[in-house]
Amino acid sequence: MSDTHKASGWRHLALFTAGFVFDALVIHRIDDASVLIQQGVYLTVCGLLLARLIAWQHRRPEFPRLLAGLPNWGAWLLHFMLGTLLNAYTLFYFKSGSGLTAILFFVVIALLLLVNELPWMHALGPVVLYALYSFCLTSYFAYLYPVLLGRIRWWMFVLAIASSVVPLLLIARFHHQRTGDRQHVVRHALIPSLGVQVLLLTLYIFGLIPPVPLSLMEIGIYHNVARDESGAYRVTYERPPWYRVWASDDAADFRGRSGDRVYCFLRVFAPRRFHDEIRIAWRYRQPGRGWVAAGDVPIAVTGGRESGVAGVAYKQNWRAGDWRVTVETEDGREIGRRAFSVSLDASTDTRELREQIK
């Protein structure tokens, strides 16, 4: 690889990283109107730049001297905006899903942008850019519709796919008009962009896409949860062993006595004007059968609070063994979970309990 290609690749990676840092400082809420407008503008500009850069690659016009660097600046701007958009979606997925998944996602996308600058990738055309832009479009519409409509339904993700396909087909048509090569457009535009849509739809069907814009802010297992006169929640848990100084609930080992309840307290972030229902699903690991359902509790969610929506559920008829609580949307997608164990405490000694305000 030539020094020019190496420098170009590192410049694009640097701009991608700059977009990541920029958005991390700017974005505070997923439902912020300025964030929604900014990302909508970015996606529009990215689509126009992608279409124009493809035309310039096929037939580069003669620019005036002052505008000679316009194609290069356009490519840099496209990478910066993609970096900014991808950072936003990484942050949202990080909050709604696994932090490790978000980190790996960022690394993979950064590597894809770097690989896109290799000579053999140039021979294939802007395949990676089409794929990344396709991903950004669906990610945007997938949370825009729930934010605007105030609920999450399966058909909204299908609508997000359909909304993304329209600009992708328009850019592909522009691509074909400039190149006149149908096979080139199919291989380098339609297959990568529509392939990403098929992949995202498949992941959604199997429940592997976090239910953005909802996110689990906290969840814990306690001996008691009570709401005081000020509206705050007072949680009670058994003092953990000395080597678990970081523990703030009974999730590691809930030691229950006859008549005890196992309480689950959680907070879920929801955007403004959001009115929907979530479920707290109890699961018990039964020997020989695996995880079995042990009851669901519906909780109404009204969004807009910075501290999130609080929810409480308890299990009265428990048994010793492994348990988990899963917080799910109405259509069964997982927002978060907490695993814990329950053991029978046969002693009559006074237990040392702690209280904490939530």
Q: What is the DSSP string of 120-170?
A: HHHHH-SHHHHHHHHHHHHHHHHHHHHHHHTS--HHHHHHHHHHHHHHHHH
Q: Tokens 């794929």 identify what position?
A: 131
Q: Tell me whether residue 345 is in a domain.
A: yes
Nearest to 212 by CA among 301, 131, 94, 102: 94
Q: End-to-end CA distance of the chain: give it in Å, rounded.
A: 57
- What tens digit of pLDDT does each residue of 293-343 get? 999 999 999 988 888 899 999 999 899 999 999 999 987 888 888 999 999
The pLDDT assigned to 253 comes to: 87
What's the domain range around 327? 215-357
Q: Are residues 261 and 150 both part of a single domain?
A: no
Nearest to 88 by CA among 14, 51, 142: 142
Q: Tell me whether residue 210 is in a domain.
A: no
Q: Are residues 295 and 169 both part of a single domain?
A: no
Cα(152)–Cα(96) distance, integer angstroms: 14
Q: Are residues 233 and 178 both part of a single domain?
A: no
Q: Are residues 178 and 55 both part of a single domain?
A: yes
What are the strands, taking DSSP E only, across 239-317?
254-256, 262-269, 275-286, 290-302, 309-315
The pLDDT assigned to 239 comes to: 81
The pLDDT assigned to 160 comes to: 97
The last residue of a domain, from among 205, 229, 249: 205
Under a CB-based contact definition with an 8 Å cutoff, are residues 130 and 96 in contact? no
Q: Are residues 255 and 149 both part of a single domain?
A: no
Q: Are residues 220 and 201 both part of a single domain?
A: no
The pLDDT assigned to 183 comes to: 82
Q: How many domains does the chain have?
A: 2
Cα(132)–Cα(134) distance, integer angstroms: 5
Cα(122)–Cα(169) distance, integer angstroms: 22
Residue segments in the chain with a per-residue pLDDT below the cut of 70: 1-28, 55-73, 94, 97-125, 242-246
Q: Which helix (H) or strand (E) holds 328?
A: strand 321-329
